[in-house]
Amino acid sequence: MDMDNLKTILDNIKTLDWRNALVSFFVVKRRLLADRSAEYDVLHVEVDEKLRKKLRDIAAGKIKQSNTALEYDFNTADLDDNLLGIPTAETDLQGIINVLQNSEDPPKVGQYEELLGTSMYIARLDIDEQLPLFSVRRVSDSWTTKKVVNLISMVFRDSMLVDLDQQEIFRIDGRVDFFAFDGTLFIADKKRLFRERRTLVLFPDRNRHSSRL
């Protein structure tokens, strides 16, 4: 993927007003199989409007502070607010996006236990007559009630994630690991991605994708 194409796509993303986008929220679980391929299970989670606004603000804030997109290279150092770009089709995320763009939505979470063990969460942002933006954040182990600075608290109530200021059930921090738009994945936190040794940059035909837990 050449630099001019990356710049064009990033410039397009930055011209759109994502703070007014329609937000859908999904959780993903990852399982390693015996042949070392990965299987992903995707579920749709209902969220309240207060949390949708925070998810919009997180994505829009990261996009605003992103200056330049460089072609992905394993040896490229982290460059503050610059992004690394790679075709989404060269990553596991393509199969997950295929599930999210199917005409049939993934099953909805009905019990909070189904959220435990989540490996990543995805906010899908939609604007009329535009391609969707997928904002992705990895969860280090599984969601925890431990207090961390700058986190958003949620509680699962009536089959919906609800934003709360006091109660500590599930938490979302204010960061983005990577986002995808128009066939391109932009890596925002390369250091974290490789520190955890769980890169998404795998051959897609070695992975299986499912929409169920």
Residue 16 burial class via C-beta count within 10 angstroms: exposed 0-12, middle 13-18, buried 19 and up: middle
Q: What is the pLDDT of residue 83?
A: 85
The answer to whether the CB of 179 falls within 8 A of the CB of 62 is yes
Taking the CA atoms of 202, 205, 207 and 208 in sequence, report the sign of the dihedral they define: positive
Domain span including residue 9: 3-201
pLDDT tens per residue, range 143-156:
543 433 344 555 55
Task: Indicate the number of domains in the chain.
Answer: 1
Tell whether 166 is covered by a domain: yes
Tell whether 162 is covered by a domain: yes
The whole-angstrom distance between residue 150's C-alpha and the CA centroid of its chain comes to: 18
Tell whether 58 is covered by a domain: yes
Q: How many CA atoms lie within 13 Å of 153's alpha carbon, on the beta-carbon side? A: 12
pLDDT tens per residue, range 18-52:
999 999 999 998 888 888 778 899 999 998 898 99
Adjacent-strand bridge partners of 24: 124
Q: How many helices (H) and strands (E) does the chain have?
A: 4, 12
Tell whether 152 is covered by a domain: yes
Q: pLDDT at residue 113 above 50?
A: yes
Helix (H) or strand (E) segment spanning residue 161 = strand 160-164
Residue 184's identity, in one-letter code, is: T
Q: Which pTM value belongs to this model?
A: 0.79
